[in-house]
Homo-oligomer: A and B are copies of this chain.
Amino acid sequence: MEKSRKITLSEVAAQARVSPITVSRALRDPAKVSPEARARIDQAIRELGYVPNPAARALASGRTDVVGVIIPSVSNNVFADVTRGIYDALEGSALSVQMGNTRYSPLTEEELIRVFLSQRPAGLIVAGHDQSPAARAALIAAECPVVQLMEVGPAPIDMAVGLSHYEASRAGAAHLLAQGYRAPAFLGAQMDPRSQQRLQAFRDCLAQAGIGTDDPVVTTPEPSSVSLGCRLFADLLSRSPRTDAVLCNNDDIALGVLFEARRRNIRVPQDLGICGFNDLEMMSAAEPSVTSVAVDRLRMGRDAIGLIRDRLEGRGQPRGYALDLGFRLMTRDSTRRGG
């Protein structure tokens, strides 16, 4: 087995009869190199199979082409879609991504931000607005573009892409009331800050409608799942048997409720209205189809990268820019109770 030796920039330069620095420029800013030299260099690169060494580049230039992405959990459905958006938008650029998992721990998040920043990333994407003070300070001092993802808040550290979870949830709750449901409950798993806002909106909406508040809310620290939705709904029924609708903190739970209702011969939407959150693809395919608050997760990831790329290319948004992607209430059969 012929051990293929590492090809360096200098070897490409020798073959193309130019100096190494010219090859370097041809790679990073082709406009600065004459077309003839460029052609010879390109050919040499192809012939030798040259691949640049990112470590050397990072060391010499003091920056990397890595975008750090710090999210609570890679496996969560919602983040999976956001991640896909990020990868989509990175396609064809020289940037790559490095994922960090906070596992919902502020300390881990702080440490990750510190480590990522120490590598002088091209940009940083963090989930939410609820960083610890130390983390926040580090992000403010960061020299790279920073995007806070998932929600828009009053004071972005740098830029933000997301939506108002309060408003989105409120729309769901209002819809249930508008459909004539009079005893709606809230079901949620692991309550991150965005979930808290959604719960708050639910409570406010009920209070405003003057609906007696025995606070029909069931949550748990467990991570979300469809089975959990079944269990939470069972819990809810034993506590508040008169419940006639549920606002679910996410679609997994909503689907669990749908299945559990069927098991118990509770008719949806007549006896029970179900509204989910996120609008996963399966909600429209379900029988009955399930109302959900649609959030464009793919676009959220894409736009985050877009903002970073724009900034890197000099034509970016100013500090404090917040991009509100909004939401859409997808009204479906699970809350269609007729007049």
Contacts and interface: CB of A to CB of B under 8 A. Distances in A.
A51 B263 contact: no
A140 interface: yes
A79 to B, nearest CB: 9
Contact of A98 (B49, B96, B118, B287): B96
A255 B226 contact: no
Contacts of A59: 53, 55-56, 59
Contacts of A255: 282, 285
A92 B6 CA distance: 31
A1 interface: yes
Contacts of A270: none
A220 to B, nearest CB: 15
A321 B259 CA distance: 43
Given A74-B80, A75-B81, A263-B287, 16 more contacts: A2-B141, A51-B114, A53-B118, A55-B56, A55-B59, A59-B59, A73-B84, A75-B80, A87-B101, A225-B282, A227-B282, A229-B285, A252-B282, A255-B282, A256-B282, A256-B285
What 9 A-B pairs have minimum CB-CB distances, sorted nearest first? Answer: A55-B58, A75-B84, A51-B118, A226-B282, A226-B285, A227-B285, A259-B287, A262-B287, A55-B59
Given A98-B96, A114-B51, A281 B80 contact: no
B75 A119 contact: no
A238 interface: no
B141 A3 contact: yes
13 contacts: A53-B118, A53-B119, A59-B59, A73-B84, A74-B84, A75-B80, A80-B80, A226-B281, A229-B285, A230-B285, A252-B282, A259-B286, A262-B287
A133 interface: no
A75 B64 contact: no
